[in-house]
Each structure stands twice: as structure tokens, then as C-alpha cells.
Amino acid sequence: MTPMRILICDDHKIVRDGLRQILQRLEGVTSIEEAGDGNELLNILKNETFDVILLDITLPEKNGLEILQTVRSKWPSTNVLMLSMHPQEQYAMRALNLGASGYLTKDTASEELLLAVKRVSEGGKYISLSLAERIALHIDKDTTRLKHEVLSGREFEILIKLANGKSLQEISKELCISDKTVSTYRRRILAKMELHKNNELTRYCLENNLI
């Protein structure tokens, strides 16, 4: 069995502890390290190599999709398995298009997580069957580029939060950024999508099954 080194990046220690406990059951795992945010992950990668990175999408400062882009740019041979609370096919498609080796939601059964990590460590790709079906349906349905597809990873994340009715203050607290920064993102999102109000964002997201 080839030795396997894994790096977990999630801002919640209880999640990291749970993942570590599951991953220790996988044959061949020799090292499991942890990072609490994207910057810590990037600093670790400057000095160490890993067979698989488990990367959360929702991180403070820079989100997982932004970190994924940096990892794929600087360490292209590194296999990244994205973890998310969001089952939406749009998140998965973005991650895969940016070079992720797989995508799982955090409610995935431990057996499927182990299977995904093993496949990704061997250079393969992994998404669940149910998510693959939803992605296929999404591709069939959308023959033209949708407005939200021009957004960056962070902009898309804030779009979803705004569409769910969260205030600028709530979003700034969740993402550990200032109210002013969230307001700037909001203006940028509205301009890119050619919309004017939050309720238009909500309607758009509902119509396109983003929330």
C-alpha cells in the first residue's frame, strides 16, 4: 500500500477532528495535518507535499474556491477534494472546472468519504452518483451562460447568502470581513448580474435553483 499524506483545511476544529477520526481508518494513511484557513494551508504547502487535500468551500477571508485556484496554479499535481455544506450542482461544477479532483457534501457517509479520498489519491475523480445526475440535468437545461456564472467564487458565495436574506452584518461576521467589504461585493454582484435589489437576487436564485 502506497503511503498517503492528507491535509485537512476547515475553519471548525470539531469538523477537522471528525474527519481525522474517519481518515485514520483508511489503510496506508501515514500523516494527517490540519489548517484552519486558506492562508495557513498555503503556508504549509510551501514546505510539505500531500497526496490529498480536503478543502472546505466556506472559509474566512479567502473561500475554498479561491484557495483551490491558487493550489492548482502553484502545485498542479496536488489532488484536492472539496467539502461543502452546499449540495448545489453549481458549486460542484465550479470546483471541478477549477481543477478539483472531487466534491462531497459534509453529510456524506464516512464510507463514501474514504472511497473518495482513496480514488482521488490515485489520481481519479469523485462525485456522488446523485450529484452527477443533478449536474447532468443542469447541463442539459442550461444551454446559455447564466448571469451568476460570471461571478468569482467569493462573489457567488455572497450572492447565495444575500439571496437567503442575510444582512451585510451577518455575512461580514460569518466570513470575517468588514461590512464595507461585503457592501462592495454586493454592488459588484448587482452590476455583473445587471440587477438592482436584493429581492431580485433572491428571485433569480430561486428561478435557477441556487437556493
What the chain holds in terms of domains, given with CATH numbers, is 4-138 (3.40.50.2300), 147-207 (1.10.10.10)
Query: Which pLDDT band holds residue 100 (cuts at 50, 70, 90)?
Result: very high
Per-residue model confidence (pLDDT) at position 39: 92
Per-residue model confidence (pLDDT) at position 133: 67
The answer to whether the beta carbons of residues 11 and 40 sit under 8 Å apart is no
pLDDT in tens, 30-41: 999 999 999 999
Q: How long is the chain?
A: 211
Between helix 38-45 and helix 64-74 the angle, nearest 10°, is 10
Q: What is the pTM of this model?
A: 0.70
Cβ contacts of 67 within 8 Å, gap of 6 or more = 9, 38, 41, 42, 55, 59
Average pLDDT over residues 148-167: 86
| Cβ atoms within 10 Å, residue 98 | 18
Average pLDDT, rounded, for the chain: 87
Pairing state between β 52-56 and 102-105? unpaired
End-to-end Cα distance, the chain: 42
Per-residue model confidence (pLDDT) at position 102: 92
